Chains A and B, each alone.
Chain A
Amino acid sequence: MSGADQREPAAELGLLDATMIGMGAMIGAGIFVLTGLAADIAGPAAILVFALNGVVTAFTALSYAELASAIPKSGGGYAFVREVFADLPSFVMGWMLWFAYMIAGTLYALGFAPNFIELLHVYGVVAPPGEIGAVAIPLLPFAVSPQVGLAFLAVLLLVTVNLVSTAASGSLETVFTAVKVSILVVFVGFGLVSPMFAPAAEFQPLFPAGEGPVAILPAMGLTFIAFEGYDLITTVTEEVENPRQNIPRAIFISLAVTLVVYLAVVTVAIGTLGATGLAEAGEAGIAQAATAFMPTFPVIGQGGAVIVFGAVFSTLTALNAVVIASSRVGFAMGREGQLPACVGQIHHRFGTPFFAIVASSVVMLVAVVLPTQSAGNMSSLFFLLSFVVVNGAVIKLRRERPNMNRPYEIPFYPVPPVLGILLNLSLTGVLIWYLVRTDPLALALTAGWIALGVVGYAVAGSRSEPEPTGDDAEPVAED
């Protein structure tokens, strides 16, 4: 007997499933949560912000495609970097990527809360989002704002689901993503025919007064996280059928489709509500735009409710995706001996990377007290830095292992990875420069997290036995 009940092993994922996993992670955060914030910084040029981010990220997508086709490991960017770089740099990479996903989880939870309140508001259950005061909870000495409380509960719910069940399968993700995209198509369709849609007026002037085109740079940094989905595809590569063709395809298709969806949605949102209105709505920007122009339907009532539901659904499923992704990165690091061994263990009963999920959830839960914008900034910053390293890994591998079989080769090498490094570094620079002026807390937390990791790594390393220093060591002289 092997215990009372048994679990199903993971199923194979087709091209559609893999593509949908990537799109599912991208669509949800970027578009529902960050459009309003991007419009706040860049005005109608938010449309350029998304377009240019798509271009910047395409170079890194090429690097991911080459690495994923050649290195059959499920661990995302961390697994590739671990293969190429020495212990400390690969640890720092994993540490950053792990945090990027965890803080992205916080971002999605914080995006979920106001949209959920908006949904309740549409049906008259509660007052509009801005008018709900803090709620005093018995036993707690301070009042909790409902946004923070809801975000906390959302994380708690999805973490619990993932702790006890491995059913987070690709096919379920396919359904989720299809629902999200359909809702956005409805939004775009009604928006384009709405009498409120006046692009000629709303897109003039394109750039915010007094700031000019430079204003789009910090907005690009903030919304960069909207394009991080392909790292998620590479965390499940070993479950994909015919991976050497399907993974590069899934990466490119998911990026291209997502970009088209984003541009259509942002065009409609700005064309109807205007950049100013969008900016005022913040995290619930798309939802409020929809409420403004959608007609009334039987049964559902106000048509905007569909879009608000879409926002609630999208942020929750994206949160689910990053709970899985962050725990997979933590798990991979645990298995490589770069985090405590228990983080790399499967739970004896649930079959899930239990400790990796618990460890990941702690940061997500604590971070819900941060402002949404800080969470977005930090997540984008960490993804930008990780992507620099991933592009570097491509170049290092090409130089050191020319004979490696690369089923997918980047065209026009070395131009794309070099451009990827330069563009990601420039955005990192712009984002840091912007954070120094507007959000020093996010910057301090970012630096603090990296410092914590490096110090922890050094302490753990000095306590355990000195290991062979790996590929950094000089070859021992042979006699």
Chain B
Amino acid sequence: MDLRAIVVGGGRVGFHVARLLDQQGHDVVVVEEDADRCDRIADSYFATVIEGNGARPDVLRQANPEQSDVLIGATGRDGVNLATCVLASRMNAEIRTVMRVSDGDAAAGYEEVVDTSFFPEGVGARAAVNAATAGDIQSIEALPGELEIAAIRVIDGSPLAGRSLADIALPRGSLVVSDADGDRIPGSDTVLEPGRTYLVAVEPEVAGEVRQLFHG
């Protein structure tokens, strides 16, 4: 299923969160207060933009949380992020809330209220360390270029489930690089079994199509 996601905050973090979600084929709404940032997102054309403060209920409601699957509080202010997550949960008890935190140690405390938190500075630091140690081993979360290595599970009922690699044609710019156990390079007779996870190298342009093939 494609997610319907609300990203509150269209700054450095929110912008890239929204763009990545869109590249994977999800529907994205961004809530952003700053008019210039709104124009920049509109120019990039990957999300519907609501101009206003996401911590205000009348503004957040325009992003339609009742019909959304996930909300990501991605502004630079913990208080605003927390408020939007709480508001969204009130408007839709089912919605998954993800909060950006500015202090990695405080994350656990917030997770009493929100579903998950993330700490962008921490992730950035890991990428920097990977780069600094000159790549003996690369985290699969951060590669140097545009290319992404993703661990993707074959969902039951996906169009690929139970088919061998020889049998399918993935879009150019994508490559299955591991078998289901993660310890072999796959061959053309490797079967994509439902429920198992495979490492797939993908270029951003085709990430959405690949995800749709694996997830149905």
**Interface residues of A, Cβ cutoff 8 Å to B:** 1-9, 69-73, 83, 237-238, 242-244, 335-337, 341, 345-351, 400-405, 407, 468, 470-471, 473, 475-476, 478
Contacts and interface: CB of A to CB of B under 8 A. Distances in A.
Interface in B88-136: 90-94
A1 B157 CA distance: 22
Contacts of B206: 9
Contacts of A242: 43
A246 to B, nearest CB: 10
A425 B184 CA distance: 63
A2 B159 contact: no
Contacts of A407: 39, 42-43
A2 B176 contact: yes
Nearest to A247: B45
B216 A400 contact: no
A242 B42 CA distance: 10
A349 B59 contact: no
Nearest to B41: A405
B50 A401 contact: yes
Given A5-B169, A404-B51, A341 B66 contact: no
Contacts of A401: 50, 62
A83 B42 CA distance: 17
28 contacts: A1-B165, A1-B175, A1-B176, A1-B187, A1-B190, A2-B176, A3-B168, A3-B169, A3-B188, A4-B166, A5-B169, A6-B172, A7-B171, A8-B172, A9-B173, A72-B45, A72-B48, A243-B45, A335-B1, A336-B2, A341-B157, A346-B159, A350-B169, A400-B62, A403-B51, A407-B43, A468-B94, A471-B67
B68 to A, nearest CB: 11
A6 B64 contact: no
The 6 closest A-B pairs by CB, nearest first: A405-B49, A401-B62, A6-B172, A403-B52, A2-B170, A348-B159
Contact of A405 (B1, B22, B38): B38
Nearest to B56: A403
A246 B166 CA distance: 40
Interface residues of B, number: 54
Contacts of B159: 345-348
Interface of B: 1-2, 22, 27, 38-39, 41-43, 45-52, 59, 62, 64, 66-67, 90-94, 157-160, 163, 165-176, 186-188, 190, 205-206, 209, 212-213, 216
Contacts of B67: 470-471
A298 B198 CA distance: 63
A243 B160 CA distance: 33
Most buried by A among B91, B158, B169: B169
Given A2-B168, A9-B172, A403-B52, 6 more contacts: A3-B166, A3-B169, A349-B167, A403-B50, A471-B64, A473-B66
B30 to A, nearest CB: 9
B175 A2 contact: yes
Most buried by A among B41, B45, B172: B45
Nearest to A397: B62
B50 A7 contact: no
A278 B90 CA distance: 65
A1 B188 contact: yes
Contact of B49 (A7, A341, A404): A404
Given A1-B186, A348-B213, A404 B168 contact: no
A472 B51 CA distance: 24
B50 to A, nearest CB: 5
A227 B48 CA distance: 27
Contacts of B187: 1
A471 B61 CA distance: 10
Contacts of B42: 69-70, 244, 405, 407
